[in-house]
Amino acid sequence: MRPTGKLHLGHLVGALENWVALQREYQNFHLIADYHALTTNLDTFKLYQNSFEMLIDWLSAGIDPKISPVFRQSQIKEHAELHLLLSMLITSARLERNPTVKEQVRDLNIENISYGHLGYPVLQAADILLYKGDVVPVGEDQVPHVEITREIARRFNAQYKKVFPEPEAKLTKFPRLPGLDGKMKMSKSAGNTILLSDSPEVIKKKMSMAVTDPQKIRKNDPGRPEICLVFYAYHQKFNPSEIPQIDRDCRSGALGCVECKANAAKHIIEYLKPIREKRAYFEAHSSEVKDILIDGESRARIVAQETMKDVHEAMALG
Ligand code: AMP
């Protein structure tokens, strides 16, 4: 994940929950992609603070750093070296076709994409392959990048020697959580998020402004839950047991949007309660969080260095 500040519900339901669920089944590695953050923001002033905030969100959501190392990409130089070597194995035309970068260029109004931004998926391939990852739990927008990683791994193995597995993306049931404004994706740049660290008051307020069925103007108008994101995304995820009732009452006009959104907010607040409590602990124990990062970085570095030995040997470098 890129350290762009505090995490939102999309990060949680699209990726982070899967990380927590998978950490006892697999050996997980959790990377703070601080080099990647530079692709869309060159200002490094807040990079460390943002990385720290994000790590607190991970720990609060249930990442156990004793079993899953957490680390910053920039502190393990092997990421940069492998990125360079892998960049020889893919064409610029292939990278220009990448739909995720096209989407970013459109959403952020980027006129001239940088060489580094275009190479985003190559650096991501290095991030994954350095740990010989075979499963990559991500949201839907990252699937094209995992596909590029597979292509690069295949190319490396065929050109030199089999060093890398071909990783597969693993999605959750909510691989693209929509934003409160009705946009396809909740994202910080769109300003349509609920943060994991938002207070109950803020969540209630933000939810009250969520977009619903535009044809349901008055409380008693019959609604269409299938096109209402409060229903098909937020209630579906955070309040599944009331789904049949809400569906019936929305269609009949017995349930108005104001009440329905307040109910969704209540369930989101409840869902985030344990995360909020753990966050308060980690915020009060920041030196513990720093130690967790240093420990994760030294453990991840050992694995990265081992992989680079295999790469050097396969390529007859050195
Ligand atoms: P990013 O902040 O772009 O580095 O995203 C970190 C992870 O969260 C990636 O696996 C994304 O696919 C996932 N993610 C981000 N926003 C959403 C969203 N709205 N819905 C589902 N997954 C998301």
For the chain, give every domain's residue range.
9-178+286-315, 198-279
For residue 111, what pLDDT band results from cuts at 50, 70 and 90? confident
Average pLDDT across the chain, whole number: 96
C-alpha to C-alpha distance for 293 and 103, rounded to whole angstroms: 32
Q: Which tens digit of pLDDT belongs to each residue from 233-270? A: 999 999 999 999 999 999 999 999 999 999 999 999 99
For residue 290, pLDDT beyond 90: yes
Q: 3-class SS at 137?
A: strand
More confident residue, 226 or 318: 226
Model confidence, pTM: 0.95
Q: How far is the CA of 150 from the centre of ligand 1 (A)?
A: 20
* 142 CB within 6 A, ligand 1: yes
Give the 3-state secondary structure of residue 31: strand
pLDDT at site 57: 97
Spell out the residues 6+ positions from residue 173 whose beta carbon is closer than 8 angstroms to its own: 237
pLDDT at residue 291, as a whole number: 98
Nearest protein CA to atom 18 of ligand 1, as residue? 10
Substitution candidate for ligand 1 out of 1, 11, 107 with most atoms within 8 A of CB: 11
Sign of CA dihedral 234, 239, 241, 245: negative
Cα 176 to ligand 1 centre (Å): 8
Atom from ligand 1 closest to the CA of residue 33: 4
The atom of ligand 1 lying closest to the CA of 7 is: 2
177 lines ligand 1 (CB under 6 A): yes
Q: Tell me the per-residue pLDDT of 62-87, one tens digit each, with 9 for 90 and over.
A: 999 999 999 999 999 999 999 999 99
The residue with tokens 């030199």 is: 160
Instruction: Confirm or reject CATH 1.10.240.10 for domain 198-279, answering yes or no.
Output: yes
Q: How much distance in Å is there from the Cα of 114 to the middle of ligand 1?
A: 22
Question: In this predicted model, what pLDDT tens digit does every residue of 297-306 receive, in sequence order?
Answer: 999 999 999 9
Q: Which positions ≥6 away from 288 have C-beta within 8 Å?
A: 282
Residue with tokens 């490396």: 156
Ligand 1 centroid – CA 229 distance (Å): 18
State the average pLDDT over residues 103-107: 87
Extract the tokens encoding 293: 């990062």
Query: What are 140-198's pLDDT values in tens digits?
Result: 999 999 999 999 999 999 999 999 999 999 999 999 999 999 999 999 888 999 999 99
98 dihedral zone (left: phi>0; alpha: psi -120 to 50; beta)? beta
Regarding the beta carbon of 14 and ligand 1, being less than 6 Å apart is answered yes
For domain 9-178+286-315, the CATH class is alpha beta
Give the C-alpha separation, 194 to 133, whole Å.
Answer: 30
pLDDT at 108: 85
Query: Is the CB of 207 inside a 6 Å radius of any atom of ligand 1?
Result: no
pLDDT of residue 24: 92
Query: What's the pLDDT tens digit per position in 40-57?
Result: 999 999 999 999 999 999
6 lines ligand 1 (CB under 6 A): no
